[in-house]
A = this chain, B = another copy of it.
């Protein structure tokens, strides 16, 4: 049925047909995600809710904003994208997230948590200003509900004097199980809903903010969902409604229902050899260091397992904090614990660290406090696309005074950098990709602040300065290819992007410099070196990502396409030789 689905067809279906449609959606998603990777259990849980939305509302005239977007696949399948669904998360194919550029049914791009209520309010306000008439719906999970943005949006509902429907898709999970007092509160409310006490006093908080509260206890019961949404739709003329819907993450597939955390996102097994994941090294090393150092504390924002800290949290519960999806709060907790003499490690994905920019500047760095930022999934992260690429961190971190920025070249150096961090009494950022693919065979040289390492010392005309495993790999591979043509280049591991190793740079008077990094050009390693040499008439050629958002695709193919590859360096040096 999905093949030629239209909004009109959905609305003309019988309940039985709609239920069959749900099954077809589930099968399509499961088959595709197991092949392409992607978000599985979050999408399986929301099938009935999405079908009911399409049955009751009139998209794309009505608008729906999916918070984060981990749950938009059923919506994609119901809005004319079944035919392309096999391309999900492939380069050039469908995005795994809502994208305005992909379909008029996607009215707002999301990717980071907590934005959907604000966006729905903005869309509704615009509707009112334009004197148009349609419904605006925001679908948000209970995990995102912890985020401060949701509260800010709530606080302005009455100010904006507009009406929206907020569907709280409550499956008790962020990626990890949801934590915090709001979660406990939602559990109480869900009991109310189960016992039909929907007008009960417990819902007062939402009413305070101007929302009428209603609920559906079995959000995977299609008939009930349709009934309730039909009722609520009529009320939206007069009021804003929170519809609290309990769904089962991974619904319909036992292996997802039983383990929704690890089936939240499915990675496609790759044939490539992996030495070790950086997250595993973080967990192992921090756990070891914490044994002797009782000042070490670890903080995460809802990604404990993915960040490798499961073991640490189990072993040192009193020195572990997962605050839920509250990146800003997590950052200040670290700063304030450091102010009191503890040694906090904040582990976070590069892309989500963007939320903490102001707090890194003022709470950590202005106070010069010894917080270590462990920045995972840095560089191109691949199939999640624009909203999840970790390609900005070197730029927004290097501009901050008092912050040391390090980029270990492999998992072994990462371990050493963590050891280095233990006695480093100032703010430190360590950024690394997900997978450690090789350990370079340079001797295990000691780490000194701001000192680089020559991996290949050929003196001469060219020196490639690279930071991080991916860029160092590219640099060494370029050097190898060039050597075949008897062009010998040096390769330097810039394990600190800030401060630069000025004595090594000053020693490179004879060389043309090439910089390589898995980051944007503006503000990154290349930029810093360009500025270092701005009055020295030195040629510095930068390989980094140009000023564009990078869509989804494979890490390797995207690095090549966006200009960071051994071949690009080889071509540049050869053309320079022949000039």
Q: Which residues of A contact B (CB under 8 A)?
A: 65, 100, 107-109, 111-112, 115, 118-123, 125-130, 146-160, 179-182, 184-185, 201, 204-205, 208-210, 294, 297, 318-319, 321-324, 326, 328-329, 332-337, 339-342, 354-355, 357-359, 361-363, 365-367, 386-387, 392, 395-396, 398-402, 520-523, 526-528, 530-531, 533-535, 537-542, 547-549
A-B contact pairs, 27 of them (CB 8 A): A107-B339, A107-B340, A115-B362, A122-B333, A122-B337, A146-B155, A151-B151, A152-B323, A152-B329, A155-B323, A155-B326, A156-B329, A156-B333, A158-B184, A159-B323, A181-B210, A354-B357, A354-B361, A362-B386, A366-B549, A399-B520, A399-B522, A401-B549, A523-B523, A523-B527, A527-B527, A535-B539
The oligomer's copy count stands at 2
Docked Cα-Cα span, A539 to B539, in Å, equals 11
Instruction: Provide the residues of chain B in CB contact with A358, threshold 8 Å.
Output: 112, 354-355, 357
Neighbour of A366 across the interface among B109, B185, B396, B399, CB < 8 A = B109
List 7 additional A-B contacts (Cβ < 8 Å) besides A65-B336, A112-B358, A402-B549: A155-B323, A156-B323, A159-B322, A182-B209, A354-B358, A355-B358, A534-B541
Is there an interface contact between A341 and B126, defined as CB atoms closer than 8 Å? yes
Q: A127-B340, A530-B527, A531-B526 are in contact. Are A387 and B366 (CB under 8 A)?
A: yes
By Cβ-Cβ distance, the 10 closest A-B pairs, closest first, are A148-B148, A122-B336, A126-B340, A151-B151, A152-B329, A118-B332, A152-B326, A357-B357, A354-B358, A155-B180
Q: A152-B328, A332-B118, A366-B387 are in contact. Are A208 and B180 (CB under 8 A)?
A: no
Docked Cα-Cα span, A366 to B100, in Å, equals 10
Instruction: Provide the residues of chain B in CB contact with A115, threshold 8 Å.
Output: 332, 359, 362-363
Is there an interface contact between B328 and A149, defined as CB atoms closer than 8 Å? yes
Instruction: Provide the residues of chain B in CB contact with A548, threshold 8 Å.
Output: 401
Docked Cα-Cα span, A363 to B528, in Å, equals 28
Q: A160-B321, A333-B122 are in contact. Are A181 and B152 (CB under 8 A)?
A: no
Neighbour of A126 across the interface among B118, B336, B359, CB < 8 A = B336
Docked Cα-Cα span, A342 to B129, in Å, equals 9
Instruction: Provide the residues of chain B in CB contact with A156, threshold 8 Å.
Output: 179-181, 321, 323-324, 326, 329, 333
Instruction: Provide the residues of chain B in CB contact with A122, threshold 8 Å.
Output: 332-337, 339-340
Instruction: Provide the residues of chain B in CB contact with A366, threshold 8 Å.
Output: 109, 111, 386-387, 549
CB-CB nearest in chain B for A185: B208
Docked Cα-Cα span, A294 to B528, in Å, equals 44
Instruction: Provide the residues of chain B in CB contact with A185, threshold 8 Å.
Output: 208
Docked Cα-Cα span, A326 to B115, in Å, equals 13
Shortest CB distance A203–B (Å): 11
Instruction: Provide the residues of chain B in CB contact with A204, threshold 8 Å.
Output: 201, 204-205
Neighbour of A152 across the interface among B147, B340, B530, CB < 8 A = B147
Instruction: Provide the residues of chain B in CB contact with A400, threshold 8 Å.
Output: 392
CB-CB nearest in chain B for A403: B547
Is there an interface contact between A126 and B399, defined as CB atoms closer than 8 Å? no
Docked Cα-Cα span, A112 to B321, in Å, equals 24
Q: A531-B542, A534-B542 are in contact. Are A337 and B180 (CB under 8 A)?
A: no
Is there an interface contact between A541 and B549, defined as CB atoms closer than 8 Å? no
Q: A526-B531, A535-B539 are in contact. Are A547 and B401 (CB under 8 A)?
A: yes
Neighbour of A336 across the interface among B108, B335, B363, B539, CB < 8 A = B108
Instruction: Provide the residues of chain B in CB contact with A539, threshold 8 Å.
Output: 534-535, 537
Shortest CB distance A377–B (Å): 15
Neighbour of A149 across the interface among B126, B148, B337, CB < 8 A = B148
Is there an interface contact between B158 and A148, defined as CB atoms closer than 8 Å? no
Docked Cα-Cα span, A151 to B387, in Å, equals 25
Instruction: Provide the residues of chain B in CB contact with A521, threshold 8 Å.
Output: 531
Neighbour of A123 across the interface among B147, B336, B523, B534, CB < 8 A = B336
